[in-house]
């Protein structure tokens, strides 16, 4: 069965690339997806596969039923883009200004659609049921996963698998990790309110810039002095705005940043400590403040049995080797699927050919090795069809 699946996928590779490049030229941002879900729906209707649109918003699900009884396996791919201007010099460069697929979601979609096509053709020989989850809005919290789950995309599902094309890993590598693999991704906003005035008379003001500068420095003590060194946390201020003329002391300043953690207790600690330090800084500088902490996606925590299974599957595919991944501080709303069902999320190596240091994810010149789509499809496909044997 695996040989038949792989043969079909190999024969679809050119179509897979063509579809990926079409999607790359026509990106749609989170929660704004219209043409992409319509394309996905049309693909399944042409196959004669059961498809449902508007799942949790702009999501799409498709169901392929094997002729023989078995478990229900869900496979997920996301399809939203980012608000970034595409700066690559390639024929398939984005045609939409200030929007591009800078994270590989176009590749995820093309790979899953053609895997679905292969599974549909083999359905008379397959066990169980296969649920294809095409998720909108992964890039922007609250994300599409949580609403799709509430709308029933995991109903009846026994296990869920997902992958992310990963340009920092070599082609042919599948990177896995049991337990936490990607971090909880939160955002915080702090407004410091002082009393502005003339730059020549600082003693008559309450300088919001000085207060904000002290706060930026003090926040770094959370990871270095408040979090247990054997655990992980990142607190980064990404924006510090206090606009004024050169000779005017600002009366207010706004700081926006992100916090990344793996353990729930550390997440709680970081949120509390940002507030405590902000309060202390405001008191010390005689300013007032407004602090808001917005929880984004939880950490992606892989289940042990399913992760061990993916390692076995990956190592059985010719030309593919599984390697343990470091924990990544990036966030992913695949976390929600794993809170509801057993499963695992892994990285599929996609480093471009002839490149030592690739442009990273979310970079204006991001691109990936399209051969990685085939490896992703084969790994997910073999995992899906052989999962029944594990039971």
Question: Domain containing 335 — which CATH number?
Answer: 3.40.630.10
* Three-state SS at 182: strand
Kindly report the backbone phi and psi dihedral angles of residue 52, in degrees, each rounded to the nearest multiple of 5, phi listed first: -130, 130
Please give the pLDDT value at position 376: 98
- Residue 362 marked in a binding site: yes
Q: Which residue has the tokens 């337990």?
A: 179
CB-based contact 109:36 (threshold 8 Å): yes
Catalytic residue among 106, 138, 367, 370: 138
Residues 289 and 313 in one domain: no
pLDDT given for residue 389 in this prediction: 79
Query: Is 136 annotated as contributing to ligand binding?
Result: no
User: Model-level pTM?
Assistant: 0.94
Residues 290 and 279 in one domain: yes
pLDDT at res. 391: 56
Please tell me which residue in 80, 186, 333, 370 is annotated as part of the active site.
Answer: 80
Per the annotation, the verdict on 80 as an active-site residue is yes
Pair (72, 110) in one structural domain: yes
State how many domains the chain has: 2
Contact 253, 240 (CB under 8 A): yes
Write the Ramachandran bin of 331: left for phi over 0, alpha for psi from -120 to 50, otherwise beta: beta
Contacts of 250 (CB under 8 A, 6+ apart): 194, 196, 207, 208, 209, 242, 243, 244
Question: Of 52, 325, 284, which Cα lies nearest the Cα of 179?
Answer: 325
Shared domain for 165 and 87, answered yes or no, is yes
Same domain, 173 and 188: no
Host domain of residue 230: 184-294
Is 353 catalytic? The answer is no
123 three-class SS: helix
One domain for residues 51 and 169: yes
14 plus 146 within the same structural domain: yes
Do 235 and 349 belong to one domain?
Answer: no
Give me the tens of pLDDT residue by residue for the chain, a chain 391 residues long: 899 999 999 999 999 999 999 999 999 999 999 999 999 999 999 999 999 999 999 999 999 999 999 999 999 999 999 999 999 999 999 999 999 999 999 999 999 999 999 999 999 999 999 999 999 999 999 999 999 999 999 999 999 999 999 999 999 999 999 999 999 999 999 999 999 999 999 999 999 999 999 999 999 999 999 999 999 999 999 999 998 889 999 999 999 999 999 999 999 999 999 999 999 999 999 999 999 999 999 999 999 999 999 999 999 999 999 999 999 999 999 999 999 999 999 999 999 999 999 999 999 999 999 999 999 999 999 999 999 877 5
Helices (H), the chain: 2-25, 35-47, 105-121, 145-150, 208-221, 264-285, 304-315, 334-340, 371-390
Out of 294, 324, 349, a domain closes at 294
* Predicted pLDDT at 245: 87
Mark which of 264, 294, 324 sits at the end of a domain.
294
Answer for the pair 51, 120: CB distance below 8 angstroms, yes or no. Answer: no
Tell me, yes or no, whether 338 and 383 share the same domain: yes
Residue 24 marked as a ligand binder: no
105 annotated to a ligand binding site: yes
Residue where a domain terminates, one of 265, 294, 323: 294
Residues 266 and 213 in one domain: yes
Same domain, 208 and 273: yes
Neighbours of 316 (CB within 10 A): 13
DSSP of 141-169, one letter per residue? TT-SHHHHHHTTTTTT-SEEEEEEEETTS
| CATH code of the domain containing 238 | 3.30.70.360
Q: Are residues 175 and 190 in the same domain?
A: no
Q: Quick check: 23 and 103 in contact, CB under 8 A?
A: no
């Amino acid at each position: 069965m695996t040989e038949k699946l792989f043969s079909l996928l190999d024969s679809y590779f050119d179509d897979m690339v063509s579809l990926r490049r079409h999607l790359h030229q026509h990106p749609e941002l989170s929660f704004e997806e219209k043409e992409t879900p319509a394309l996905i729906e049309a693909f399944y209707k042409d196959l004669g596969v059961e498809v449902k649109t508007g799942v949790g918003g702009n999501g799409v699900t498709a169901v392929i039923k094997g002729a023989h009884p078995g478990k229900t396996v869900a496979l997920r791919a996301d399809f939203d883009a980012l608000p970034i201007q595409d700066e690559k010099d390639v024929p398939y460069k984005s045609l939409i200004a200030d929007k591009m697929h800078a994270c590989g979601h176009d590749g995820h979609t093309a790979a899953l659609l053609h895997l679905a096509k292969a599974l549909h053709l083999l359905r008379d020989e397959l066990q169980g049921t296969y649920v294809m989850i095409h998720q909108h809005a992964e890039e922007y919290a609250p994300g599409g996963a949580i609403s799709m789950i509430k709308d029933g995309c995991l109903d009846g599902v026994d296990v869920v698998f997902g992958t992310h094309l990963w340009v920092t890993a070599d082609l042919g590598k599948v990177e896995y990790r049991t337990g936490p693999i990607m971090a909880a991704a939160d955002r915080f906003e702090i407004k410091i309110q002082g009393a502005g005035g003339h730059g020549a008379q600082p003693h008559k003001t309450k300088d919001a810039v000085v207060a904000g500068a002290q706060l930026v420095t003090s926040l770094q003590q959370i990871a270095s002095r408040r979090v247990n060194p054997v655990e992980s946390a990142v607190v980064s201020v990404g924006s510090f705005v206090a606009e004024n003329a050169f000779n005017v002391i600002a009366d207010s300043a706004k700081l926006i940043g992100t916090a990344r953690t793996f353990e729930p207790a550390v997440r709680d600690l970081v949120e509390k400590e940002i507030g405590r330090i902000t309060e202390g800084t405001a008191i010390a500088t005689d300013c007032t403040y407004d602090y808001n902490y917005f929880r984004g996606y939880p950490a992606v925590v892989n289940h042990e049995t399913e992760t061990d299974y993916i390692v076995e599957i990956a190592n059985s595919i010719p030309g593919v080797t599984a390697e343990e991944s470091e924990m990544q501080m990036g966030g992913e709303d695949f976390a929600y699927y794993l809170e509801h069902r057993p499963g695992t999320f892994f990285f599929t190596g996609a480093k471009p050919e002839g490149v030592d240091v690739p442009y990273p994810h979310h970079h204006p010149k991001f691109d990936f090795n399209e051969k990685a789509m085939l490896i992703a499809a084969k790994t997910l496909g073999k995992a899906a069809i052989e999962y029944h044997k594990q039971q």
